[in-house]
Amino acid sequence: AAVEKTGKAAVRLGYPQEPGIQPVNILRVYVSPRDKAAGQVYETLLSMAPQIYVGLSGKELVLNPQCLKEEEIQTVIDGLNAAL
């Protein structure tokens, strides 16, 4: 929601539907950039310090919060907002 409020991306929650994605029972965050290509945002996130690793599925970035620690959430939000 903090990313969506900027107006730079649409954000939705969902479970993976693509074949081969495991585990399928963990809710993911899907981010669709509005002004930049998802691949461009993906590359920017990887070049940041600290690096932010996300998945890339078509025109969406995919965040899997499974291993994310509570104290890392704001870093991810700030990184996404900066990259967008």
**pLDDT (tens digit per residue) in 15-38:** 987 777 777 788 899 999 999 999
- How far is Cα 4 from Cα 16, in angstroms, rounded to an integer? 20
Q: Which of 58, 73, 75, 65 is nearest to 27 (CA)?
A: 65
pLDDT (mean) for 51-67: 92
- Whether the per-residue pLDDT at 5 is higher than 90: the answer is no
Residue 33: asked if its preceding bond is cis (omega within 30°), the reply is no
The tokens describing 8, both together, are 């730079």
The model's confidence at residue 4, banded by pLDDT at 50, 70 and 90, is: low
pLDDT (mean) for 4-18: 85
Which pTM does this prediction carry? 0.86
